Amino acid sequence: MSAQSSASRASPSSFIDEVIAATPGSDPHLDLCVQCGTCGGSCPSGPDMEHTPRQLFAMINAGMKEDVLRSNTPWYCVSCYYCMVRCPQDVHITDIMYSLKRMAIKEGMFQESTAADAPDFSETFIDFVEQYGRSFELGLATRYHLKHHPLGAVKMAGFGLGMLLRGRMDLTPTKIEGIAQLKTILARAKELGADSSKNGGGQ
Amino acid sequence: MKYGYYPGCSLERNAIAYHRSAMAVADALDIEFVEVDDWNCCGATEYISIDALPAYALVARNLALASQQKQNGNGNQLVAPCSACYLNLQKTNHYMADSPELAQQVNTALQAGGLNYDPGSVRVRHLLDILTQDVGYDAVAEKVTKPLYNLRIAPYYGCLIVRPGFDDTYHNPEYPTCLDELMRKLGATVVDYPVKTHCCGGHMTQISEPVALDLIRRLLKNAADYQADAIVTLCPMCQLNLDGYQEAVNKHFGTNYQIPILYFTQLMGLAFGIKPKKLGFGKEFVDARPALAKIEAEPPKKPKKRKRPPKEALPMPNLTEGM
Ligand code: SF4
Ligand code: SF4
Protein backbone atom coordinates (compact mmCIF):
# COMPACT_ATOMS: atom_id res chain seq x y z
CA MET A 1 0.00 0.00 0.00
CA SER A 2 2.73 2.42 0.89
CA ALA A 3 4.38 1.83 -2.48
CA GLN A 4 1.18 2.84 -4.18
CA SER A 5 0.83 5.90 -1.99
CA SER A 6 4.36 7.09 -2.54
CA ALA A 7 3.93 6.63 -6.27
CA SER A 8 0.82 8.75 -6.16
CA ARG A 9 2.70 11.37 -4.15
CA ALA A 10 5.05 11.96 -7.05
CA SER A 11 2.30 13.08 -9.40
CA PRO A 12 -1.00 13.91 -7.80
CA SER A 13 -3.52 13.25 -10.48
CA SER A 14 -6.75 13.14 -8.51
CA PHE A 15 -8.08 14.96 -5.48
CA ILE A 16 -7.44 12.05 -3.13
CA ASP A 17 -3.78 12.01 -4.19
CA GLU A 18 -3.60 15.75 -3.59
CA VAL A 19 -4.89 15.29 -0.06
CA ILE A 20 -2.44 12.46 0.62
CA ALA A 21 0.43 14.50 -0.78
CA ALA A 22 -0.56 17.44 1.43
CA THR A 23 -0.17 15.28 4.55
CA PRO A 24 3.52 15.11 5.49
CA GLY A 25 4.91 12.48 7.82
CA SER A 26 3.69 8.90 7.80
CA ASP A 27 1.36 7.55 5.10
CA PRO A 28 -2.14 8.75 6.13
CA HIS A 29 -3.83 5.60 4.71
CA LEU A 30 -6.66 7.69 3.30
CA ASP A 31 -7.04 5.27 0.40
CA LEU A 32 -7.74 2.45 2.87
CA CYS A 33 -10.99 3.87 4.28
CA VAL A 34 -13.73 1.25 4.23
CA GLN A 35 -16.58 3.64 5.06
CA CYS A 36 -17.43 1.93 8.34
CA GLY A 37 -18.49 5.17 10.02
CA THR A 38 -16.63 4.58 13.29
CA CYS A 39 -15.03 8.01 12.98
CA GLY A 40 -18.29 9.94 12.72
CA GLY A 41 -19.80 7.95 15.56
CA SER A 42 -16.82 8.81 17.77
CA CYS A 43 -16.68 12.48 16.94
CA PRO A 44 -17.70 14.98 19.65
CA SER A 45 -18.25 17.63 16.97
CA GLY A 46 -20.24 15.32 14.70
CA PRO A 47 -23.61 17.00 15.31
CA ASP A 48 -22.20 20.39 14.30
CA MET A 49 -20.44 19.17 11.17
CA GLU A 50 -21.97 19.51 7.73
CA HIS A 51 -20.44 16.16 6.82
CA THR A 52 -19.18 13.43 9.12
CA PRO A 53 -15.55 12.46 8.56
CA ARG A 54 -16.74 9.30 6.81
CA GLN A 55 -18.92 11.26 4.39
CA LEU A 56 -16.08 13.66 3.75
CA PHE A 57 -13.75 10.80 2.84
CA ALA A 58 -16.32 9.39 0.42
CA MET A 59 -16.55 12.84 -1.14
CA ILE A 60 -12.76 13.03 -1.42
CA ASN A 61 -12.77 9.68 -3.14
CA ALA A 62 -15.42 10.93 -5.52
CA GLY A 63 -13.24 13.92 -6.36
CA MET A 64 -15.72 16.49 -4.99
CA LYS A 65 -12.95 18.95 -4.28
CA GLU A 66 -14.98 22.11 -3.91
CA ASP A 67 -17.65 20.63 -1.66
CA VAL A 68 -14.98 19.12 0.55
CA LEU A 69 -12.95 22.30 0.87
CA ARG A 70 -16.04 24.38 1.55
CA SER A 71 -17.31 21.98 4.22
CA ASN A 72 -17.15 23.19 7.81
CA THR A 73 -16.12 19.71 8.94
CA PRO A 74 -12.33 20.20 9.25
CA TRP A 75 -12.89 23.51 11.06
CA TYR A 76 -15.10 21.85 13.66
CA CYS A 77 -12.53 19.15 14.33
CA VAL A 78 -11.28 19.76 17.87
CA SER A 79 -8.29 17.47 17.41
CA CYS A 80 -9.37 14.94 20.02
CA TYR A 81 -7.96 11.92 18.08
CA TYR A 82 -10.88 9.67 19.11
CA CYS A 83 -11.54 8.74 15.49
CA MET A 84 -7.89 7.99 14.85
CA VAL A 85 -7.44 5.47 17.66
CA ARG A 86 -10.72 3.75 16.76
CA CYS A 87 -10.39 3.61 12.97
CA PRO A 88 -9.96 -0.05 11.97
CA GLN A 89 -7.89 1.02 8.94
CA ASP A 90 -5.48 3.33 10.77
CA VAL A 91 -6.54 6.28 8.62
CA HIS A 92 -4.79 9.38 10.03
CA ILE A 93 -8.07 11.25 10.20
CA THR A 94 -7.00 14.14 12.41
CA ASP A 95 -3.93 14.80 10.25
CA ILE A 96 -6.12 14.77 7.16
CA MET A 97 -8.45 17.35 8.76
CA TYR A 98 -5.42 19.63 9.17
CA SER A 99 -4.43 19.05 5.54
CA LEU A 100 -7.93 19.98 4.39
CA LYS A 101 -7.81 23.19 6.41
CA ARG A 102 -4.53 24.17 4.76
CA MET A 103 -5.85 23.33 1.30
CA ALA A 104 -9.05 25.30 1.90
CA ILE A 105 -7.05 28.34 2.95
CA LYS A 106 -4.77 28.04 -0.06
CA GLU A 107 -7.75 27.82 -2.39
CA GLY A 108 -9.58 30.61 -0.54
CA MET A 109 -12.56 28.36 0.03
CA PHE A 110 -13.19 28.64 3.73
CA GLN A 111 -15.10 31.94 3.83
CA GLU A 112 -18.46 30.40 3.20
CA SER A 113 -18.25 27.68 5.79
CA THR A 114 -19.94 28.22 9.14
CA ALA A 115 -16.53 28.25 10.78
CA ALA A 116 -15.28 31.18 8.76
CA ASP A 117 -13.50 32.76 11.74
CA ALA A 118 -11.33 29.76 12.46
CA PRO A 119 -8.53 30.46 9.94
CA ASP A 120 -8.23 34.00 11.18
CA PHE A 121 -7.91 32.81 14.76
CA SER A 122 -5.09 30.49 13.73
CA GLU A 123 -3.42 33.19 11.66
CA THR A 124 -3.58 35.78 14.43
CA PHE A 125 -2.15 33.21 16.83
CA ILE A 126 0.80 32.39 14.60
CA ASP A 127 1.43 36.06 13.80
CA PHE A 128 2.41 36.56 17.42
CA VAL A 129 4.45 33.36 17.47
CA GLU A 130 6.36 34.46 14.36
CA GLN A 131 6.98 37.89 15.80
CA TYR A 132 7.96 36.95 19.35
CA GLY A 133 8.57 33.19 19.45
CA ARG A 134 5.85 32.90 22.08
CA SER A 135 2.10 33.09 22.00
CA PHE A 136 0.45 36.19 23.44
CA GLU A 137 -3.04 35.67 24.80
CA LEU A 138 -4.04 39.26 25.42
CA GLY A 139 -2.95 40.36 21.96
CA LEU A 140 -4.68 37.40 20.39
CA ALA A 141 -7.90 37.93 22.29
CA THR A 142 -8.14 41.64 21.60
CA ARG A 143 -7.14 41.57 17.94
CA TYR A 144 -9.20 38.52 17.02
CA HIS A 145 -12.33 39.21 19.05
CA LEU A 146 -12.58 42.88 18.19
CA LYS A 147 -12.46 41.93 14.54
CA HIS A 148 -14.89 39.04 14.60
CA HIS A 149 -17.15 39.35 17.62
CA PRO A 150 -17.30 43.05 18.47
CA LEU A 151 -20.34 42.38 20.65
CA GLY A 152 -18.84 39.26 22.14
CA ALA A 153 -15.68 41.23 22.82
CA VAL A 154 -17.48 42.96 25.68
CA LYS A 155 -18.16 39.58 27.25
CA MET A 156 -14.58 38.56 26.51
CA ALA A 157 -13.36 41.73 28.20
CA GLY A 158 -14.89 40.44 31.45
CA PHE A 159 -13.13 37.12 31.00
CA GLY A 160 -9.86 38.88 30.15
CA LEU A 161 -10.17 41.08 33.22
CA GLY A 162 -10.66 37.96 35.32
CA MET A 163 -7.48 36.54 33.81
CA LEU A 164 -5.54 39.73 34.49
CA LEU A 165 -6.80 40.05 38.06
CA ARG A 166 -5.69 36.50 38.78
CA GLY A 167 -2.29 37.12 37.25
CA ARG A 168 -3.05 34.63 34.49
CA MET A 169 -2.45 36.92 31.52
CA ASP A 170 0.47 39.15 30.53
CA LEU A 171 0.00 42.74 29.38
CA THR A 172 3.01 42.59 27.10
CA PRO A 173 4.37 39.74 24.98
CA THR A 174 7.58 37.90 25.81
CA LYS A 175 10.21 37.72 23.10
CA ILE A 176 12.71 34.87 22.87
CA GLU A 177 16.41 35.72 22.47
CA GLY A 178 16.81 33.71 19.31
CA ILE A 179 13.92 35.38 17.50
CA ALA A 180 16.13 36.23 14.49
CA GLN A 181 17.21 32.59 14.27
CA LEU A 182 13.61 31.40 14.54
CA LYS A 183 12.49 33.81 11.82
CA THR A 184 15.25 32.53 9.51
CA ILE A 185 14.22 28.92 10.16
CA LEU A 186 10.54 29.62 9.52
CA ALA A 187 11.27 31.61 6.37
CA ARG A 188 13.35 28.74 5.00
CA ALA A 189 10.62 26.24 5.93
CA LYS A 190 8.02 28.33 4.12
CA GLU A 191 10.18 28.42 0.98
CA LEU A 192 10.69 24.67 1.09
CA GLY A 193 7.00 24.06 1.71
CA ALA A 194 5.99 26.27 -1.22
CA ASP A 195 8.53 24.54 -3.50
CA SER A 196 7.53 21.03 -2.63
CA SER A 197 3.79 21.69 -2.82
CA LYS A 198 4.34 22.73 -6.43
CA ASN A 199 5.56 19.25 -7.27
CA GLY A 200 3.09 17.54 -5.03
CA GLY A 201 5.08 16.72 -1.89
CA GLY A 202 5.65 18.62 1.35
CA GLN A 203 2.86 20.61 2.84
CA MET B 1 16.50 12.24 38.64
CA LYS B 2 17.19 14.84 36.02
CA TYR B 3 15.18 15.80 32.95
CA GLY B 4 15.00 18.49 30.30
CA TYR B 5 11.93 20.66 30.82
CA TYR B 6 9.74 22.36 28.24
CA PRO B 7 7.18 24.51 30.11
CA GLY B 8 5.35 25.91 27.07
CA CYS B 9 3.65 29.31 26.88
CA SER B 10 0.68 28.47 29.11
CA LEU B 11 2.80 27.57 32.11
CA GLU B 12 4.52 30.94 32.00
CA ARG B 13 1.33 32.78 32.81
CA ASN B 14 -2.19 31.36 32.44
CA ALA B 15 -1.22 28.04 34.03
CA ILE B 16 1.26 29.50 36.49
CA ALA B 17 -0.42 27.40 39.21
CA TYR B 18 0.58 24.26 37.31
CA HIS B 19 4.17 25.44 36.94
CA ARG B 20 4.54 26.41 40.60
CA SER B 21 3.00 23.23 41.92
CA ALA B 22 5.02 21.07 39.51
CA MET B 23 8.23 22.69 40.72
CA ALA B 24 7.28 22.34 44.38
CA VAL B 25 6.41 18.67 43.94
CA ALA B 26 9.56 17.97 41.91
CA ASP B 27 11.60 19.55 44.68
CA ALA B 28 9.98 17.32 47.29
CA LEU B 29 10.68 14.25 45.17
CA ASP B 30 14.29 15.19 44.34
CA ILE B 31 13.66 15.64 40.64
CA GLU B 32 15.63 18.25 38.78
CA PHE B 33 14.09 19.93 35.73
CA VAL B 34 16.49 21.76 33.42
CA GLU B 35 14.51 24.21 31.32
CA VAL B 36 15.33 24.20 27.60
CA ASP B 37 17.24 27.40 27.00
CA ASP B 38 15.33 29.95 24.89
CA TRP B 39 12.54 27.57 23.84
CA ASN B 40 9.76 28.84 21.58
CA CYS B 41 5.99 28.24 21.35
CA CYS B 42 4.95 24.80 20.05
CA GLY B 43 2.31 26.31 17.74
CA ALA B 44 -0.60 24.73 19.65
CA THR B 45 -3.22 23.45 17.21
CA GLU B 46 -2.97 26.63 15.14
CA TYR B 47 0.26 26.59 13.15
CA ILE B 48 -0.37 23.17 11.61
CA SER B 49 -3.77 24.44 10.39
CA ILE B 50 -2.08 27.07 8.26
CA ASP B 51 1.28 25.78 7.07
CA ALA B 52 2.73 22.33 7.72
CA LEU B 53 6.47 22.56 7.21
CA PRO B 54 7.01 25.72 9.27
CA ALA B 55 4.80 24.16 11.96
CA TYR B 56 7.13 21.15 12.16
CA ALA B 57 10.23 23.38 12.00
CA LEU B 58 8.86 25.48 14.87
CA VAL B 59 8.58 22.42 17.08
CA ALA B 60 11.84 20.94 15.84
CA ARG B 61 13.78 24.01 16.98
CA ASN B 62 12.81 23.06 20.54
CA LEU B 63 13.82 19.43 20.01
CA ALA B 64 17.15 20.56 18.52
CA LEU B 65 17.82 22.87 21.48
CA ALA B 66 16.88 20.10 23.92
CA SER B 67 19.12 17.56 22.20
CA GLN B 68 22.09 19.95 22.51
CA GLN B 69 21.48 20.42 26.20
CA LYS B 70 23.90 17.93 27.71
CA GLN B 71 22.76 18.28 31.32
CA ASN B 72 19.35 16.72 30.71
CA GLY B 73 20.51 13.34 31.97
CA ASN B 74 18.31 10.24 31.84
CA GLY B 75 19.00 9.46 28.18
CA ASN B 76 18.00 12.94 27.06
CA GLN B 77 14.39 12.99 28.12
CA LEU B 78 12.27 16.06 27.72
CA VAL B 79 9.30 16.64 30.00
CA ALA B 80 6.26 18.61 28.89
CA PRO B 81 3.52 19.32 31.45
CA CYS B 82 1.08 20.66 28.81
CA SER B 83 -0.70 17.97 26.81
CA ALA B 84 -0.77 20.07 23.62
CA CYS B 85 2.98 20.74 23.78
CA TYR B 86 3.53 17.07 24.59
CA LEU B 87 1.57 16.01 21.53
CA ASN B 88 3.30 18.47 19.19
CA LEU B 89 6.77 17.47 20.39
CA GLN B 90 5.96 13.76 20.10
CA LYS B 91 4.29 14.15 16.74
CA THR B 92 7.23 16.02 15.21
CA ASN B 93 9.69 13.54 16.69
CA HIS B 94 7.64 10.62 15.41
CA TYR B 95 6.87 11.86 11.90
CA MET B 96 10.45 13.03 11.33
CA ALA B 97 11.68 9.56 12.28
CA ASP B 98 9.03 7.94 10.10
CA SER B 99 9.50 10.09 7.00
CA PRO B 100 13.08 10.76 5.85
CA GLU B 101 11.68 13.29 3.40
CA LEU B 102 10.09 15.33 6.19
CA ALA B 103 13.20 15.01 8.36
CA GLN B 104 15.40 16.26 5.56
CA GLN B 105 13.17 19.25 4.82
CA VAL B 106 12.85 20.20 8.48
CA ASN B 107 16.60 19.91 8.94
CA THR B 108 17.26 22.06 5.88
CA ALA B 109 15.13 24.73 7.53
CA LEU B 110 16.82 24.27 10.93
CA GLN B 111 20.26 24.51 9.33
CA ALA B 112 19.41 27.99 8.07
CA GLY B 113 19.44 28.87 11.77
CA GLY B 114 22.55 26.79 12.54
CA LEU B 115 20.64 23.91 14.14
CA ASN B 116 20.10 20.24 13.41
CA TYR B 117 17.90 17.56 14.92
CA ASP B 118 18.44 13.83 14.76
CA PRO B 119 14.87 12.40 14.95
CA GLY B 120 14.28 10.26 18.00
CA SER B 121 17.39 11.46 19.84
CA VAL B 122 15.20 13.14 22.46
CA ARG B 123 12.51 11.18 24.28
CA VAL B 124 9.40 13.25 24.97
CA ARG B 125 7.47 12.50 28.17
CA HIS B 126 4.46 13.96 29.93
CA LEU B 127 4.86 15.18 33.50
CA LEU B 128 2.20 12.74 34.72
CA ASP B 129 4.19 9.83 33.27
CA ILE B 130 7.34 10.93 35.08
CA LEU B 131 5.54 11.03 38.41
CA THR B 132 3.63 7.77 38.01
CA GLN B 133 6.15 5.66 36.06
CA ASP B 134 9.62 6.91 36.97
CA VAL B 135 9.00 8.13 40.52
CA GLY B 136 6.25 5.59 41.09
CA TYR B 137 3.18 5.37 43.29
CA ASP B 138 4.96 4.04 46.35
CA ALA B 139 7.55 6.81 46.41
CA VAL B 140 4.72 9.32 46.09
CA ALA B 141 2.75 7.65 48.90
CA GLU B 142 5.80 7.84 51.17
CA LYS B 143 5.84 11.63 50.89
CA VAL B 144 2.21 12.07 51.91
CA THR B 145 1.95 13.78 55.29
CA LYS B 146 -1.51 15.35 54.96
CA PRO B 147 -3.73 12.85 53.18
CA LEU B 148 -6.72 14.20 51.26
CA TYR B 149 -9.24 12.04 53.09
CA ASN B 150 -12.87 12.57 52.13
CA LEU B 151 -12.08 14.70 49.06
CA ARG B 152 -13.97 13.33 46.08
CA ILE B 153 -12.01 13.67 42.86
CA ALA B 154 -13.05 13.27 39.22
CA PRO B 155 -9.85 12.39 37.34
CA TYR B 156 -9.85 14.14 33.97
CA TYR B 157 -7.24 13.14 31.38
CA GLY B 158 -8.55 14.89 28.27
CA CYS B 159 -7.35 13.85 24.84
CA LEU B 160 -3.77 14.38 24.01
CA ILE B 161 -1.95 12.51 26.77
CA VAL B 162 -3.78 9.31 25.86
CA ARG B 163 -4.37 9.75 22.10
CA PRO B 164 -3.14 8.99 19.53
CA GLY B 165 -0.11 7.64 21.41
CA PHE B 166 2.74 8.36 19.01
CA ASP B 167 5.56 7.06 21.17
CA ASP B 168 5.86 4.76 24.14
CA THR B 169 2.43 5.53 25.45
CA TYR B 170 1.23 3.09 28.04
CA HIS B 171 -2.17 4.69 28.53
CA ASN B 172 -5.40 3.10 27.50
CA PRO B 173 -6.70 5.61 24.93
CA GLU B 174 -10.26 5.36 26.24
CA TYR B 175 -10.04 4.48 29.91
CA PRO B 176 -6.68 5.23 31.50
CA THR B 177 -6.29 4.77 35.25
CA CYS B 178 -2.88 6.09 36.33
CA LEU B 179 -4.20 9.46 37.52
CA ASP B 180 -6.91 7.62 39.48
CA GLU B 181 -4.25 5.52 41.16
CA LEU B 182 -2.07 8.55 41.91
CA MET B 183 -4.99 10.39 43.53
CA ARG B 184 -5.81 7.34 45.67
CA LYS B 185 -2.23 7.30 46.91
CA LEU B 186 -2.86 10.83 48.19
CA GLY B 187 -5.79 9.55 50.24
CA ALA B 188 -8.47 11.08 48.01
CA THR B 189 -11.65 9.28 47.00
CA VAL B 190 -11.70 8.81 43.24
CA VAL B 191 -15.15 8.78 41.69
CA ASP B 192 -16.01 6.93 38.53
CA TYR B 193 -15.72 9.40 35.67
CA PRO B 194 -16.85 7.82 32.41
CA VAL B 195 -16.04 10.95 30.37
CA LYS B 196 -12.47 11.12 31.67
CA THR B 197 -10.95 11.16 28.17
CA HIS B 198 -13.55 13.32 26.43
CA CYS B 199 -12.59 16.58 24.78
CA CYS B 200 -12.67 19.95 26.60
CA GLY B 201 -13.43 21.76 23.35
CA GLY B 202 -9.88 22.93 22.67
CA HIS B 203 -9.81 26.23 20.83
CA MET B 204 -13.56 26.07 20.10
CA THR B 205 -14.19 28.41 23.06
CA GLN B 206 -12.69 31.06 20.78
CA ILE B 207 -14.20 30.06 17.45
CA SER B 208 -17.67 28.71 18.12
CA GLU B 209 -18.51 29.10 21.77
CA PRO B 210 -21.78 27.10 21.82
CA VAL B 211 -19.97 24.02 20.50
CA ALA B 212 -17.36 24.28 23.24
CA LEU B 213 -19.86 25.07 25.99
CA ASP B 214 -21.77 21.90 25.27
CA LEU B 215 -18.62 19.79 25.53
CA ILE B 216 -17.67 21.52 28.77
CA ARG B 217 -21.18 21.09 30.18
CA ARG B 218 -20.99 17.33 29.72
CA LEU B 219 -17.72 17.16 31.64
CA LEU B 220 -19.11 19.26 34.49
CA LYS B 221 -22.41 17.40 34.61
CA ASN B 222 -20.76 14.01 34.76
CA ALA B 223 -18.55 15.12 37.66
CA ALA B 224 -21.55 16.62 39.45
CA ASP B 225 -23.58 13.43 38.92
CA TYR B 226 -20.87 11.48 40.71
CA GLN B 227 -20.71 14.11 43.47
CA ALA B 228 -17.11 15.05 42.82
CA ASP B 229 -15.78 17.93 44.92
CA ALA B 230 -13.21 18.81 42.27
CA ILE B 231 -12.05 17.83 38.80
CA VAL B 232 -8.34 17.15 38.52
CA THR B 233 -6.60 17.92 35.26
CA LEU B 234 -3.13 17.67 33.70
CA CYS B 235 -3.45 20.16 30.84
CA PRO B 236 -3.62 23.99 30.85
CA MET B 237 -6.13 24.06 27.99
CA CYS B 238 -8.52 21.71 29.79
CA GLN B 239 -8.11 23.69 33.01
CA LEU B 240 -8.81 27.01 31.33
CA ASN B 241 -11.86 25.78 29.43
CA LEU B 242 -13.50 24.05 32.40
CA ASP B 243 -12.60 26.73 34.93
CA GLY B 244 -12.75 29.98 32.96
CA TYR B 245 -15.89 29.03 31.02
CA GLN B 246 -17.84 27.41 33.85
CA GLU B 247 -19.77 30.61 34.44
CA ALA B 248 -20.55 30.86 30.72
CA VAL B 249 -21.85 27.28 30.82
CA ASN B 250 -24.06 28.13 33.78
CA LYS B 251 -25.47 31.16 32.00
CA HIS B 252 -25.97 29.33 28.73
CA PHE B 253 -27.66 26.25 30.18
CA GLY B 254 -29.20 27.70 33.35
CA THR B 255 -27.09 25.42 35.52
CA ASN B 256 -25.20 26.24 38.69
CA TYR B 257 -22.01 24.24 38.67
CA GLN B 258 -19.34 25.33 41.11
CA ILE B 259 -16.69 22.69 40.59
CA PRO B 260 -13.09 23.76 41.09
CA ILE B 261 -10.68 22.56 38.39
CA LEU B 262 -7.30 21.78 39.89
CA TYR B 263 -3.98 20.53 38.58
CA PHE B 264 -2.95 17.11 39.85
CA THR B 265 0.33 18.59 41.05
CA GLN B 266 -1.56 21.04 43.27
CA LEU B 267 -3.21 18.15 45.09
CA MET B 268 0.07 16.26 45.32
CA GLY B 269 1.62 19.35 46.90
CA LEU B 270 -1.21 19.69 49.41
CA ALA B 271 -0.89 16.04 50.42
CA PHE B 272 2.87 16.52 50.80
CA GLY B 273 2.14 19.29 53.30
CA ILE B 274 3.33 22.14 51.07
CA LYS B 275 1.65 25.52 51.70
CA PRO B 276 -1.25 26.24 49.29
CA LYS B 277 0.28 29.57 48.34
CA LYS B 278 3.35 27.85 46.94
CA LEU B 279 1.08 25.66 44.84
CA GLY B 280 -0.71 28.44 43.00
CA PHE B 281 -4.05 28.11 44.78
CA GLY B 282 -6.17 31.23 44.41
CA LYS B 283 -5.60 31.59 40.65
CA GLU B 284 -8.69 29.59 39.77
CA PHE B 285 -11.97 31.20 38.66
CA VAL B 286 -14.08 28.72 40.63
CA ASP B 287 -12.90 28.99 44.22
CA ALA B 288 -11.25 25.79 45.45
CA ARG B 289 -11.59 26.58 49.16
CA PRO B 290 -15.03 25.09 49.83
CA ALA B 291 -13.86 21.81 48.30
CA LEU B 292 -10.58 21.79 50.21
CA ALA B 293 -12.47 22.46 53.45
CA LYS B 294 -14.00 19.00 53.09
CA ILE B 295 -10.66 17.30 53.60
CA GLU B 296 -10.70 15.40 56.88
CA ALA B 297 -7.93 14.13 59.11
CA GLU B 298 -9.38 10.63 59.34
CA PRO B 299 -9.96 8.25 56.45
CA PRO B 300 -13.63 7.82 55.53
CA LYS B 301 -15.27 4.91 57.32
CA LYS B 302 -15.80 1.87 55.19
CA PRO B 303 -19.52 1.40 54.59
CA LYS B 304 -20.94 -1.13 57.00
CA LYS B 305 -21.38 -4.56 55.54
CA ARG B 306 -25.01 -5.40 55.06
CA LYS B 307 -26.31 -8.16 57.22
CA ARG B 308 -26.89 -11.27 55.17
CA PRO B 309 -30.54 -12.19 55.03
CA PRO B 310 -31.37 -15.45 56.72
CA LYS B 311 -30.83 -18.43 54.48
CA GLU B 312 -34.46 -19.41 54.52
CA ALA B 313 -35.64 -15.95 53.36
CA LEU B 314 -36.96 -15.41 49.88
CA PRO B 315 -34.45 -13.91 47.43
CA MET B 316 -35.87 -10.39 47.59
CA PRO B 317 -33.96 -7.10 47.49
CA ASN B 318 -33.41 -5.69 50.96
CA LEU B 319 -35.23 -2.35 51.00
CA THR B 320 -35.27 -1.61 54.71
CA GLU B 321 -32.17 0.63 54.71
CA GLY B 322 -32.79 4.32 54.17
CA MET B 323 -36.54 3.96 53.99
S1 SF4 C 1 -13.24 4.91 10.89
FE2 SF4 C 1 -11.59 4.81 9.33
S3 SF4 C 1 -12.28 3.24 7.87
FE4 SF4 C 1 -14.07 3.80 9.11
S5 SF4 C 1 -15.10 5.41 7.89
FE6 SF4 C 1 -13.74 6.45 9.32
S7 SF4 C 1 -11.81 6.72 8.20
FE8 SF4 C 1 -13.01 5.20 7.08
S1 SF4 D 1 -10.10 14.26 15.87
FE2 SF4 D 1 -11.54 15.65 14.86
S3 SF4 D 1 -12.65 14.39 13.39
FE4 SF4 D 1 -11.64 12.99 14.82
S5 SF4 D 1 -13.18 12.54 16.39
FE6 SF4 D 1 -11.95 14.27 17.14
S7 SF4 D 1 -13.07 16.12 16.48
FE8 SF4 D 1 -13.87 14.38 15.27
Q: What is the pLDDT of residues A44-103, one digit of tens each?
A: 999 889 999 999 999 999 999 999 999 999 999 999 999 999 999 999 999 999 999 999
Which residues, in sequence order, are bridge partners of residue B124? B78
What is the pLDDT, as a whole number, of residue A7?
39
Q: Do A188 and B109 touch (CB under 8 A)?
A: yes
Residues of A in contact with B243 (CB under 8 A): none
What is the pLDDT, as a whole number, of residue A163?
84
Residues of A in contact with B9 (CB under 8 A): 134-135
For the Cβ of A39 lying below 6 angstroms from any atom of ligand 1, the answer is yes
Residue A4 confidence (pLDDT) above 60: no
Percent of chain B with pLDDT over 70: 95
Mutate to test the pocket of ligand 2, among A33, A78, A96 (most ligand atoms within 8 A of CB): A78
Per-residue pLDDT tens digits for B163-181 = 998 876 678 899 999 999 9
For the Cβ of A42 lying below 6 angstroms from any atom of ligand 2, the answer is yes
Domains of chain A: 3-115 (1.10.1060), 118-189 (no CATH)
Give this prediction's pTM: 0.90
A137/A56: higher pLDDT? A56
Mean pLDDT of chain B, nearest integer: 92
Q: Chain B, 109-168: which have a CB under 8 Å from a chain A CB?
A: 109-110, 112-115, 159-160, 163-165
What is the pLDDT, as a whole number, of residue A174?
86
ipTM above 0.90, yes or no: no
What is the pLDDT, as a whole number, of residue B168?
62
Cα B322 from chain centroid (whole Å): 39
Residues 6+ apart with CB under 8 A from B116: B64, B107, B110
Domains of chain B: 2-126 (1.20.1050.140), 145-292 (3.40.50.11810)
* Ligand 2 atom with the shortest distance to the CA of A39: 5
What is the pLDDT, as a whole number, of residue B299?
87
Distance, in Å, from the CA atom of B115 to the CA atom of B117, rounded to the nearest integer, reads 7
Mutate to test the pocket of ligand 2, among A30, A72, A83 (most ligand atoms within 8 A of CB): A83
Ligand 2 centroid to residue A89 C-alpha, Å = 15
Residue B261 confidence (pLDDT) above 60: yes
- Asked if residues B80 and B139 have their Cβ atoms less than 8 Å apart, the reply is no
Q: What mean pLDDT comes out for the span B184-192? A: 97
Per-residue pLDDT tens digits for A5-31 = 443 444 456 999 999 999 988 899 999
Residue B66 confidence (pLDDT) above 90: yes
Residue B53 confidence (pLDDT) above 70: yes
Which residue in chain B is spatially nearest to A118 when comparing CA positions?
A: B207
Q: Do B53 and A163 touch (CB under 8 A)?
A: no
Q: Do A25 and B211 touch (CB under 8 A)?
A: no
What is the pLDDT, as a whole number, of residue A166?
84
Q: Among all ligands shown, which has an atom nearest to the Cα of A42?
A: 2
Buried-exposed string A77-101: b where 16+ CB fall within 10 A, e elsewhere:
bbbbbbbbbbbeeebbbbbbbbbbb
Per-residue pLDDT tens digits for B77-90 = 999 999 999 999 99
- Asked if residues B64 and B93 have their Cβ atoms less than 8 Å apart, the reply is no
What is the pLDDT, as a whole number, of residue A102?
94
What is the pLDDT, as a whole number, of residue B2?
92
What is the pLDDT, as a whole number, of residue A126?
83
For the Cβ of A91 lying below 6 angstroms from any atom of ligand 1, the answer is yes
